[in-house]
Amino acid sequence: MEPLLGGKLATGLPKEAHELFTKADPSFSPAAWGLRWLWNQSEVTCVLSGTNTIAQIEENIDAVRNARSLTETELTVYAEVIAIFNKAYKIHCTGCNYCMPCSKGINIPGCFAACNTSYAQNFITGMQQFLTSSAMMGKKPGSPRLCIECGKCESHCPQHLPIRKALKQAAGRFEPLPIRLGLSIARHFL
């Protein structure tokens, strides 16, 4: 499920990880690197990859044609990319939306994506994404602080993420008291 982590391995890799893949073999895109790793796993018998364009389908077909066992050097590149990815992506949500809807109106995947963006790219980009995904400037914001810890979301999560804990992490990242006060004032005037 979600072999490219909801597209993060195709288009959302941290710059350093992307550069490692390109330096190791520029003929493969990050998506192809992700698919090649899967095909190298003995327990994987079929890979279903969501695509949006004919070009993505063609790229996947090319990756299949070039599939082979990975070398030790390539496995080392994967280990380095995984370390960079794990440092940047604190919450390993794929954005599948199985946790939704939240009874408190929290856009759980949106909050997690924003949190990860704030580490993978920069805080300002992550904050902009958070403000949009949580409707913080609207009349009824979906702040992760509104979580009542009912656990319904966690019971539906195929990745078995600790969603309640991660929502607290997102709230701590984006809603410390000074920011909450600023957002409250801005909402009042808007």
CA–CA dist 35, 48 (Å, integer)? 10
| pLDDT band of 163, cuts 50, 70, 90 | very high
What is the percent of the chain with per-residue pLDDT over 70, rounded to a whole number? 96
Whole-number pLDDT of residue 109:
94
The answer to whether the peptide bond before residue 141 is cis (omega within 30 degrees of 0) is no
Asked whether residue 137 carries a pLDDT value surpassing 70, the answer given is no
Axis-axis angle for helices 54-65, 30-39 (nearest 10): 50
Please say whether the beta carbons of 54 and 63 come within 8 A: no
**DSSP for the chain?**
--TTGGGHHHH---HHHHHHHHHH-TTS-HHHHHHHHHHTSTT--------SSHHHHHHHHHHHHT--PPPHHHHHHHHHHHHHHHHH-SS------TTPPPTT---HHHHHHHHHHHHHT-HHHHHHHHHHHTTTTSSS---GGG-----HHHHH-TT---HHHHHHHHHHHH--HHHHHHHHHHHHH-
Closest by CA position to 29, among listed 51, 60, 72: 60
Asked whether residue 1 carries a pLDDT value surpassing 60, the answer given is no
Amino acid in the structure at residue 176: P
pTM comes to: 0.73
pLDDT in tens, 30-80: 888 888 888 888 898 888 777 888 988 888 888 888 777 889 999 999 999
